[in-house]
Structure 1
Amino acid sequence: MSSVRNALVTGTSGELGAAIATRLANDGYRVVGLDLRAPTVAGPWQHYSSDLSSIATLSATLDQIHREVGPLRLLVNNAAYYNPVSLWDLTPEQIQRTMAVNVTAVMYLCQQVAKQMKDTGGGNIVNIASIAGRGGSSQIDYGASKAAVINMTATFGRLLAEHNIRINAIAPALIDAGMGKVLPPAVKEKYLQTTPLKRAAHPREIANVVAFLASDEASYITGSTVDVNGGL
């Protein structure tokens, strides 16, 4: 494999994606960030804009990254779409967008980046799932999409192992960033009271697990989903 370690992290305009990208850059990766929006703060990564709900757009951007940056050694599928509405207000359009960003784009990126990794000796993929994918969620489209991420991670793990490609997922509970900051205060407080550690995760705590799974310290872990949920 090339001595240059290129990493692609999706969703770097958010706090979690920025924390992951920063941690990987500190670990020596050349990091590429991919998001529909530009980052709100400058970070140690190269930004590319793309709409993950459009495979045509995503494919073109991935080709551009390959030309300009080179093959990838690490992919972190962090970007996700979450729009809290009641069951009765959930529209087909929202369901389609949730699945496009959270499932189709993730599966497509895993497949396409794995092709690069297969041709260059191997690599690592880390998918950000959710506790919502384990036991359901009041936001049914989001929970279903994250269950799909957990399932595809297990399947990809079996399919890619022979090519020296490891793939794992992380299932966080509430994170003090992004989606975790848009919950109504009463809902958030009730959730935290049921969490044994009585707090939300800091983005860097999830980034630390990403870094571990991408490292040689996790060399015998693939197809797995690691729960990072404060004891839930």
Structure 2
Amino acid sequence: MRLWSGKMRHVSVLYVGTLIFALGCQISTKRGENTSSQTENPPLVDEKYSLTADRKELDELRKNIPEEKKKENDELALLNQFFADDTKSPSQIREKFDSLLRKKREVFQKDMTKERETYVKEERKRREAFSKEQEEARSDFKKRKTNRQQNTEFYADLDGKRKDFNSSEREKRDDFEANARDKRKNFEDYAREKNSEFQQELRAYTKRFEEQKKAKDQAQQKQPGQ
């Protein structure tokens, strides 16, 4: 797990240093040209759910930096924004972080709901199309002059197609549900990881905040006339 603690005060220097190093070396790795390690270890969540600062103004400078490194830098930059103003109380910073995480969770949930609605709609269309196909096949067959054996073979074939279709649809549904569970688990794992890292940095900030407040109160008490 990456630790934000200790990086906050120097995040700007580290970020610029990373840019200079990456651009100087002409790193050409892009999302569409993943290395084997990136393919085997994809990010837990989609970019839209990541707790990152808005770095769009630097996209041109950063175009040759690997996506994972850019995401890491953006997350560090976001943390820097949270703790940049040392006049804010720990509770205010906590509230701001919670609000951001809540918004990301709402976006994620909205997308998951939309994916499910789309799947259900497509599933219904497939079933309706299959039912129509079978009904047309039965209608055409009834117009023919057939014997008992032909009837038996036709309806057995029809029943076999129905079983195959239902089996295929169950597999598709199982795959969809498994994928949905994976996405939700990955998002929650990511949220817990970022919350843990934030809490660690918040504890350090809280200690500094209280020490500064105590020092300020003591200085005021020592002033003449107080």
TM-score by length of 1: 0.22
Higher relative contact order (CA 8 A, sep 6+): 2
> Of Structure 1 and Structure 2, which has the larger fraction of its residues in helix?
2
Higher Rg: 2
> Of Structure 1 and Structure 2, which has the larger fraction of its residues in strand?
1
